[in-house]
Every structure is written in C-alpha cells, then in structure tokens.
Homo-oligomer: A and B are copies of this chain.
C-alpha cells in the first residue's frame, strides 16, 4: 500500500505512552526524531499526545486519533513488565484479542537462548489479532502495525530501527520543503511585513518562531512549500523585505525539518 498522494494529504498523530515522560524523569527523545523523519518522507505530523501507562487512557487516545489521521504511531509500553499495557490497550481499542505470535517468538529466538525465553519475555511476543509485525534487529521483540496504527518500542534506538522497517509500507505525500531565516529583530517588528508577505504568497506557509538569546529577542522565519519554485519565490521576497526593513538576518543554524 505504498503509494504517493498529494501534498499534506497523508497525516499522522504520535501517541507517546509513558509515565516517565509525564513525571519529568525521562526527557522524551522520540517526538523530535519522529517529527523530522515523517516530515522528510512526506507524512504530516498533525498532533502528539503523551499519556501514562493506563489502559483506558491509551484506548481512548488511540480510538480518537485513528479516526482522525491517516496513521497513528505509538511509542512505549510494549516491554515485558507489569506496567507495559500498550498491547492490551491496542487490542481493546480494536475489539480484538492478543496472543503469542509464532513469528514474533521465532524472531526473539535469534536473540535469546531457549532458557531465556521466559513467560515474562514471551509477553513481548503477544500481538493483537490481525497485526503485521515490525521487526527490529536490536532486541528482536517486534513492534506491529494494525490497520493504520503503528506500535513501536519506547527506547529511541529500537524505535528508530522499527521506523526504518515500517516506513516503506506507508503511503506518503510529497515531502514539504522548507527554509528558515534567522532575523535578529523581535517578532513585533517582523510581524507586519511578514503578514503582508504571507498574504502575497498564499501557496506557501510562513511561520515565525521567537527566540531569546543573549538577552535579546529574535525571530526565526520558516517558509514551507510543496515545490522548489514557490519556495524560492517566497524566500527571495522575504530577503527583499529584510533588506528594505534593515533587519540583521542570516540563514538559521539548524533546519532539521528542511529537506
């Protein structure tokens, strides 16, 4: 079902499952990675939610999000411990059962000796009915894809391998391209000419993101478009405005979302 579609028609939500993010104990590393990754391959991340390892909360979020977006990615809660409730929640959200999947067990046998494949570890081979596996070469315990819901591990390195594994199976739009410019002037000065510029270039999206550095406010202006010609035209007009207003400006340092 890998097929291209129009700009911004393939949408996604990300559901991060983990009490440790909500308590502040663990700083999430997955949101930024997944946001950048999906933007690059032409899937538009439209919403992120973080919920605790509570079955009812996960069920509700999954069902709300899978109705609304083309894909829902989840991270976390598929390990072997008592607080790993994601698989039960996904099964419940879809109204199906979950049982030990022979292909998942076979994958795990590549990593664990026979004696190590305990009942606890086999919890990680429990997969909701109807799901297809997403293999991972690190821990071997797989993620899975059930209809439009993609269930991945929470450990960043393992999640990243799963994302690489599942990405070719997904529908994608045309990747959004973007350029960022750093303007050393506060948003209040940048806003009026930028609003005029946006009005003159309806085919692109202009965003402005304030920052605070060395005790001064500045503004990152980001232009997003579906094609190079629109992007170049808007960017060139932006530089004209910057020159006319007399702003100090330069390319923004990092553009993880740009392609």
Interfacial residues, chain A to chain B (CB-CB below 8 A) = 16, 18-28, 31-39, 44-53, 57, 79-83, 112, 116, 118, 120-121, 123-124, 138-139, 154-158, 176, 178, 180, 186-188, 190-192, 194-195, 198, 205-212, 217, 222, 224, 255-258
Cβ contact within 8 Å between A188 and B121: yes
Return the contact of A25 from the options B22, B26, B180, B198 (Cβ within 8 A): B180
Decide: A139 near B217, CB < 8 A? Known: A79-B208, A82-B195. yes
A12 to chain B, nearest CB (A): 10
How many chain copies does the complex carry? 2
A44 to chain B, nearest CB (A): 8
**Which residue of chain B has its CB nearest to the CB of A194?**
B81
Q: What chain B residues lie within 8 Å of A155 (beta carbons)?
A: 210-212, 217
A14 to chain B, nearest CB (A): 8
Q: What chain B residues lie within 8 Å of A52 (beta carbons)?
A: 46-47
Cβ contact within 8 Å between B48 and A81: no
A220 to chain B, nearest CB (A): 8
A85 to chain B, nearest CB (A): 12
Cβ contact within 8 Å between A192 and B48: no
In the assembled complex, the Cα of A230 lies from the Cα of B46 at a distance in Å of: 42
Cβ contact within 8 Å between A80 and B209: no
Q: What chain B residues lie within 8 Å of A123 (beta carbons)?
A: 191
In the assembled complex, the Cα of A194 lies from the Cα of B257 at a distance in Å of: 41
Q: What chain B residues lie within 8 Å of A217 (beta carbons)?
A: 139, 155
